[in-house]
Amino acid sequence: MSVFAHGGGSGNTVNEKPGVALFTDAGSAATVTHGMVAEFSIGGGAQKFVSYSASSSDTKIATVSVDGSKLKISGVTAGEATVTVTDSAGANVKIAVKVPATQLDKLTVNAPSEVTLTAGMSSQYRVSGGAAPYSVAVSNPNVIAATSANGVISMTAANPGSATIVVFDAAGGSTKFEAIVTGAGQKVALYTTAPESLRMTRHISSDFIVNGGVGPYVVTTTDAEVVTGSISGDKLVIKSGMSGRGILNVRDAKGTLAVINVNVSGDLVAPMYSTAPSNVTLAAGSSPTYQIDGGVPPFIASTSNADVAQASIITGNQLQIKGISVGVADIFVFDSTGESLKVGTTVGGGTGNVPLYSTSPSAITLALGAEPTYKIAGGAAPYNVSTSNSNVAQATIADGNQLRVKGIGAGVAEIVVFDRSGASFKVVATVGSGNGTVPLYSTSPEAITVAIGAQPTYNIAGGAAPYTVTSSNVAVATVTQTATTFSVKGIATGQAGVSIRDANGTSVNILVEVR
């Protein structure tokens, strides 16, 4: 039986737009860490003078309160609950609230602590960690404008000056960085749009922009057989050769240096990932095993504290972590190119403190008739499983601790595994005509800059073929594709979105700026 706790209202609120449907800016789902309070706005409703109330389906998981048009959701303990917001006319909206078992990763933005832009220039940065959705605030909107959408902060410089950019997540966390905008005649430090670490497959080329400093620019390489670079005006073209590592050094006329580390591999490489969560808790003496995929084998593992936890690679792509004694350690896995991933590990003293987990990723793609099996461990056995759509995917528990998922028909189904205490984890299963479990991806960065007339080419892999690539603005950028590649051609100055979609409807989006 569900327990409902109604949040108190504070009398009527003037609705500036009566007739607009009831809504909240929490969206249909929100994540709130335990012990934290997330605040959202409520609006709409059918009446000029309207009041709002809210309820939680499980106050052991999350509690709610309403103050005028403000909704507060408090995370109590790990689990999932449904928050229902109701207006005085009886309309309601529901929010699926998840309180994670562990603290969320730290909210970060892949921007330097100080960003320098020229007036009229735009830039984008990726947000990660924390609890989506994200929002952004600017201390001086006359200097710079910033928006947040789909985990990307987009900034446009307006007038010379400085401003602080503050990024917030849905759980109340925040991070900030400084932005300095210079005038068109002011000098900007040498920079390039190429990342400091660039991964490429053999015998392809990518275009980037070099600007700032004092032109002209020159580029040199430490290994011309692996990677070369050429500069024409402010356009930097990087070409890969044989597999290996090389460093490109970009210098301006004053000798100021920008360094690009390039790893070239012989095959199309998916980013390295593991079925281990970013933070695991295990008992002393236990040895859970997780799968490693992507990257370039062979893999090696190391630990920051061998007295607490030890790590080893078994059967080529299995990471085994062994709890030695109570404490905290970081486990690192490296592939042959030096790419790495980290698993934070907490070792407890008892044998019953390992949370429920599986070697399955949180999202899998499988072909019709495929029947992969994953290990279940932790929690309190026995385990049981349910599926949201048995016409798409069926799920069973085999041998007491094996999760078996079978692709029945094209579509998406949610597989939920429960232990005896009610703890659970979810696996989103996408079933299609493909035969791989690697997520859809491309070798293109999430945001690229293309010169007018330039036409860089990238590879597509993963997901379920065939693929479809489209441009949101063909007046700015057009796309052409083969079965496993696509090219983006700059037509006119502006921005466009390139969308890559596979046969299952999964998409990868790329922001394109043409200059």
212, 238, 265: which is the final residue of a domain?
265
One domain for residues 447 and 422? no
Inter-residue contact 512 to 497 (CB < 8 Å): yes
Tokens (6 digits) for 187: 């000098």
Tokens (6 digits) for 465: 């073929």
Amino acid identity of 283? A
Residue 122: CATH number of its domain: 2.60.40.10
Give the pLDDT of residue 231: 92
Give the pLDDT of residue 227: 92
265, 296, 312: which is the final residue of a domain?
265
The C-alpha atoms of residue 480 and residue 457 are separated, in whole angstroms, by: 9
Q: Which domain holds residue 409?
A: 357-432
Inter-residue contact 325 to 285 (CB < 8 Å): no
Give the pLDDT of residue 436: 41
Give the pLDDT of residue 222: 92
One domain for residues 67 and 121? no
One domain for residues 506 and 449? yes
Question: Which percentage of the chain shows pLDDT scores above 90?
Answer: 6
Give the pLDDT of residue 181: 79
Residue 246: CATH number of its domain: 2.60.40.1080
For the chain, what is the total number of helices (H) and then of strands (E)?
Answer: 0, 51
One domain for residues 454 and 415? no
Asked whether the bond before 288 is cis by omega within 30 degrees of 0, the reply is no
pLDDT tens-digit profile of 493-508?
Answer: 888 888 888 777 677 8
User: Residue 88's CB: how many other CB atoms inside 10 A?
Assistant: 16
Place of tokens 């695991």: 280
The predicted model scores a pTM of: 0.29
One domain for residues 31 and 114? no
* Sequence-ordered list of residues with C-beta below 8 angstroms from that of 422, at least 6 positions apart, any chain: none
One domain for residues 465 and 389? no
One domain for residues 378 and 416? yes
- Stated as kind and residue range, the H or E segment containing 38 is strand 37-43
One domain for residues 46 and 120? no
379, 402, 432: which is the final residue of a domain?
432
Give the pLDDT of residue 4: 36
Burial of 203 by CB count in 10 Å (0-12 exposed, 13-18 middle, 19+ buried)? exposed
Q: Are strands 318-323 and 309-314 parallel, antiparallel or unpaired?
A: antiparallel
Distances (CA, A) of 203 to 123, 228, 235, 266, 445: 29, 11, 19, 9, 17
The number of domains in the chain is 6
**20: helix, strand or coil:** coil
The C-alpha atoms of residue 74 and residue 62 are separated, in whole angstroms, by: 5
Write out the chain's pLDDT in tens, 515 residues. Answer: 333 344 444 456 666 656 677 888 777 788 777 777 778 888 887 677 778 889 999 988 889 998 888 888 888 888 889 999 988 888 888 998 888 766 667 788 887 777 877 777 777 888 887 777 778 888 878 888 888 887 888 888 888 777 888 888 766 678 888 888 776 555 567 788 777 777 777 777 887 888 777 778 999 999 999 999 999 888 889 998 888 888 999 998 888 898 988 888 765 556 677 878 778 888 878 888 888 877 777 788 888 888 888 988 887 788 899 988 877 888 888 876 667 788 888 887 544 446 777 777 777 877 777 888 888 877 777 888 888 778 778 899 988 888 899 888 777 788 888 877 667 788 888 776 544 445 677 777 777 888 888 888 888 877 677 788 888 888 888 998 888 888 899 898 888 888 888 777 677 888 888 88
- Stated as kind and residue range, the H or E segment containing 27 is none
